[in-house]
Amino acid sequence: MVKRKAAPVSVVIPCYRAGTTIGRALASVAAQSRSPKEVIVVDDGSDDETLKVLALMAEKYGSSWLKIFFLENNRGPAAARNYGWERASQPLIAFLDADDSWHVDKLALQSEFMESHPEIVLSGHGCADYQTLMARLPTRFRVVKCSLSGLLYTNSFRTPSVMLRRDIALRFPEERRYGEDYYLWLNIVGAGGRAAFLDLPMAVTYKSAFGVGGQSAALWRMEKGELEALAAVRRKRETSFLIFAGAFIWSLLKFFRRLLISEFRCFKRVMGYSVKSVADESCGFEGVSPGWSLAGRQNPTILFLVTDDWFFLLHRKALAVAAQAAGFKVLVATAPGPGVAAIEALGFTHYSLKMRRASRNPVREVIGFFDLLNLYRRLKPDIVHQVSIKPILYGSLAARLAGVPAVVNAVTGLGFVFIAGGRRKKYLRNIIEMAYRLTGSRASVRFLFENPDDRNHFLARKIVRPERAVLILGSGVAVERFQPELSKLKVEVPVVLLAARMLWHKGIKEFVEAARVLQDKGLKAEFWLAGMPDMSNPAAVPVSRLLYWHRQGCVRWLGFHKDMPALYRQAAIVCLPTRYREGIPVTLLEAAACGKPLVATDMPGCREIIMPGENGFLVPPGVVSELAAALERLIVDSQLRSEFGLKGRRLVEKKFSDKKVIADTFVVYRELLGENWPHPEKF
């Protein structure tokens, strides 16, 4: 769609603990066919994860368009909206909640309506409760003028649908946590302001209260807030008792109707059926015909199931792009996050999951599983590629129930559960192994292992048959992007880099202690940590501890770093003293491709990329003295670093390039799909 002149609109988004959704909301604003002049995000005393995402969004969109303000404490959505309102510069304001999103034509249609009708001070439009708005909206549509009585009875406005004029004197009542928007709309119209409702569905609301069972308390809090707003209007005697009583009863009826719909939808999802609404038909959703035949279908469909969007982009993007080029229709299912826009920009269709990697809540796990089952039944993929433990276990069962014909399970390391521990961890390992055993019992299932240790463990424990266990080393590295700069190996103060998620199991503490040992010996070197804590992981290193080390000067914590090739160019040595059972660590693959010598622990995954004495050193896990000694050898010997770097680069080109990994994976796809494999001319 051709971009029109920017709309004279300030978009205000209150943001509280919205790290998993704010990226999607901002992407829907950035994709508008008529872009707003400015976007104001008010972070209302939020968490570290949200702060990290906002930092990425600021870098992506630029501070001149995206303006982010921070409130010290959580003061509620009304206060956050008012704060953004006061700082808006445009004559029109549109509000969007951080967990909602807009149709691409929302601002174009609504702002043009407001500009052509100066008598209207407040406008709203329909909100949909489905995931994606796909239809092209008509430029001609029905407009309903709203009186106070009509607004009392219909209450059609929702905050993500509203646009109003900035110079309105009234503001959201900050003492209210629910119903504050309805209270403001009532007071605006009660004071003589003219309002209009545009009969178009231009916003998507993702709130669980509108579609997940067990949310009666949340629904009631929302309805109670609206009832209190009605009572406040009545106390001001702005309406008659008869109208007030009718609106009060009508509001209660709406609550019970919404509650029944919510519980019915949950029941349908749990039973594995999708809910088709009237909005689905009006907005151009394509129904999926029953059956799994490829007759009439141009391309086979592959669905990548990964818990996190960033993990897909880091480890499976190249494979998905190659599959698309080979003739597959590529679908991607992850939890919502800031990387969703990048996934969709690649031409893939994205589906948001209710499943969360770190969740331990049994109710949430059940909801997540049935949501996944419903997704498989609706999409009917020809093959699913499931990555890591939870997608493998849940996805394999869902695939069996939904009749998915081919399943590929990528085991990316065995994780912290398989680290030596007590009796409780042993029981948990036995349960997980039993679940893996069940998932691998079908003939049309293949397990991909990134290192021989994990494959041998599965075979020794008889979890999977040998013919279904395929060894493909790592997820591959783009050798064209990660190139060596050998001149950088000769530097006065070498930099030792550890790039990973900041988890204790990654050896962060051992790295810091080794840095102290070497600095106490008077060795000239810098020690850098690059990465953020994974707050959903129980082994996450607290930010306070990382900042403490940074202030002490023993290590330099860089936080999140987007341009990894540039970071590797600054490093002389790359280190990963992990205690994890890794797949093959991508940081070691990328560093070797950049011609960097490596130091890591003698753990599964690390052994495949490091040839001791040739391109790096392997040390016992948890032994700081051995780690410090290996680092010292490389720090003091630039010639050794150069030799190791050259051999590491050659090893990656021979065994670990993304092209080799993709070709090996396609062999598995072809075996499972048989005659449904894309036509050879599409290679």
pLDDT tens string 618-655: 999 989 999 999 999 999 998 999 999 999 999 998 88
Q: Which helix (H) or strand (E) segment is 84 a member of?
A: helix 77-86
How high is the pLDDT of residue 132? 43
Helices (H) and strands (E) in the chain, counts: 24, 22
Q: Which of 237-251, 345-359, 588-602, 653-667 has the highest mean pLDDT?
A: 588-602
Percent of the chain having pLDDT more than 70?
78
- Alpha-carbon span 228 to 209, nearest angstrom: 19
How high is the pLDDT of residue 656? 87
Q: Is the domain of 434 the same as that of 498? A: no
Q: Which helix (H) or strand (E) segment is 342 a member of?
A: helix 340-345
**pLDDT band of 487, cuts 50, 70, 90:** low
Q: Look up the domain containing 55 and give its range.
A: 7-207
Q: Is the domain of 546 the same as that of 604? A: yes
Q: For CA atoms 418, 420, 421, 422, give the dihedral sign.
A: positive
Q: Is the domain of 521 the same as that of 385? A: no
SS (H, E, C) 258-275: HHHHHHHHHHHHHCCCCC
- Cα-based torsion angle of the residue sequence 67, 73, 78, 80 in order, rounded to the nearest 10 degrees: 0
Percent of the chain having pLDDT more than 90?
32
Q: Which helix (H) or strand (E) segment is 416 a member of?
A: none
The answer to the question of residue 669 being in a domain is no
Tens of pLDDT along 362-391? 888 888 888 899 899 988 899 999 998 889
User: Contact, 81 vs 173, CB < 8 A?
Assistant: no
How high is the pLDDT of residue 499? 93
The answer to the question of residue 530 being in a domain is yes
Q: Any idea what the CATH number is for the domain that residue 56 is in?
A: 3.90.550.10
Residue 309 pLDDT exceeds 50: yes
How high is the pLDDT of residue 293? 35
Closest CA to 106 of 155, 158, 172, 146: 158
Q: Is the domain of 463 the same as that of 534? A: no
How high is the pLDDT of residue 568? 92
User: Contact, 188 vs 164, CB < 8 A?
Assistant: yes
Report pTM: 0.55
Residue 166 pLDDT exceeds 90: yes
Q: Is the domain of 514 the same as that of 537? A: yes
What average pLDDT does the segment 313-335 reach?
90
Closest CA to 469 of 525, 421, 410, 551: 410
Residue 214 pLDDT exceeds 70: no
Q: Is the domain of 89 the same as that of 166? A: yes
Q: Is the domain of 593 the same as that of 530? A: yes
Residue 513 pLDDT exceeds 80: yes
How high is the pLDDT of residue 385? 96
How high is the pLDDT of residue 315? 86
Q: Is the domain of 368 the same as that of 494? A: no
List the Cα angle 534/415/648 in 5-degree steps.
Answer: 90
How high is the pLDDT of residue 407? 93
Residue 476 pLDDT exceeds 90: no
Q: Is the domain of 525 the same as that of 600? A: yes
What average pLDDT does the segment 424-451 reach?
82
How high is the pLDDT of residue 286? 30
Query: Among 173-177, 592-596, 614-618, which is the least confidently predicted range?
Result: 173-177
Residue 254 pLDDT exceeds 80: no
Q: Is the domain of 497 the same as that of 643? A: yes
